[in-house]
């Protein structure tokens, strides 16, 4: 039986010690905690390591009134372990009987600066919710997630201003049993850094890495190009 006041945060990044996915999900859970919700966090990569972990994940997912799935974008889609967790949950729910209302919110962050890179991943999450009988509470997409780099959002300060605004709005809506408003999705999608700064810093980082690997003269190579 699920409890509407219980929130399960499923973190889909295996990055240690902390990921941006965890920063975003934890901030939201803290705000829900302030509103009287009980919150629990599970790291998907750990949970899926053992049968016991898998059972714990399924029990927590059965119990939670709100499931928050926070993960990074991998190759325009979901990381393998997040897909695996979805498959495990779907199989379990198909075998089960009556269920009370449970809601799913997805938060995805990606490396490229445009939040819309995450559109397909959010559509997959929405379809997952539909297929397993979870109510879709909405999706939040963040571009340039590396700028947060797993830090606690209040520490990131100015740069995370819109991210914080988005999650505050999302927490308020979820607490009232509503889906996250469009305003929250819009605030999350606002670029963390202007595109030209991203390109500048990305270029510097790219050249540094090339130098480290002795490949600075090979950056324009096209080994698979066919003339």
Ligand X SMILES: Cc1cc2nc3c(=O)[nH]c(=O)nc-3n(C[C@H](O)[C@H](O)[C@H](O)COP(=O)(O)O)c2cc1C
Please report whether residue 110 would count as binding ligand X according to CB under 6 A.
yes
Question: Measured from the CB atom, is 181 or 202 closer to ligand X?
Answer: 202
Which residues make beta-bridge pairs with 135? 103
8 A C-beta contact, residue 92 and residue 58: yes
CB of 17 to ligand X, least distance (A): 11
Cα dist. 210→70, 119, 167, 199, 206 in Å? 32, 31, 37, 16, 6
Report the nearest approach of ligand X to the CB of residue 44 (Å). Answer: 11
Of 92, 112, 162, 189, the one binding ligand X (CB under 6 A) is: 112
Q: Is 111 in the site for ligand X (CB under 6 A)?
A: yes
Check residue 117 for interaction with ligand X (CB under 6 A): yes
Would you say the C-alpha torsion 42, 112, 194, 189 has a positive or negative sign? Answer: negative
Minimum distance from residue 27 beta carbon to ligand X (Å):
13
Which residue of 15, 63, 92, 190 would you call a contact of ligand X, by CB under 6 A?
15
Tokens of 26: 């934890």
Interface positions with ligand X (CB under 6 A): 13, 15, 19-21, 72-76, 109-112, 117, 145-146, 150
């Amino acid at each position: 039986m699920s409890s509407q006041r219980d929130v399960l945060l499923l973190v889909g990044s295996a990055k240690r010690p902390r990921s941006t996915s965890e920063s975003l999900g934890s901030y939201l859970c803290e705000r829900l905690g302030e509103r009287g919700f009980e919150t629990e966090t599970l790291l998907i990569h750990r949970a899926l390591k053992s049968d016991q972990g898998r059972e714990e994940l399924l029990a927590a997912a059965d119990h939670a009134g709100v499931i928050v799935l926070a993960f990074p974008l991998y190759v325009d889609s979901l990381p393998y372990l997040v897909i695996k967790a979805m498959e495990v949950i779907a199989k379990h729910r198909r075998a089960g009987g009556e269920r009370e209302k449970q809601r799913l919110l997805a938060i995805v962050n990606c490396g490229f600066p445009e939040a819309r890179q995450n559109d397909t991943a959010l559509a997959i999450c929405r379809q997952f919710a539909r297929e397993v009988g979870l109510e879709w509470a909405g999706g939040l997409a963040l571009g340039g997630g590396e700028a947060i780099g797993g830090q606690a959002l209040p520490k990131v300060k100015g740069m995370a201003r819109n991210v914080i605004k988005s999650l505050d709005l999302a927490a308020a809506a979820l607490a009232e049993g509503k889906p996250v408003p469009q305003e929250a999705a819009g605030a999350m999608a606002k670029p963390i850094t202007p595109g030209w700064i991203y390109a500048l810093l990305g270029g510097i980082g790219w050249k540094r890495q090339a130098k480290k690997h002795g490949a600075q003269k090979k950056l324009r190579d096209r080994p698979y190009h066919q003339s």
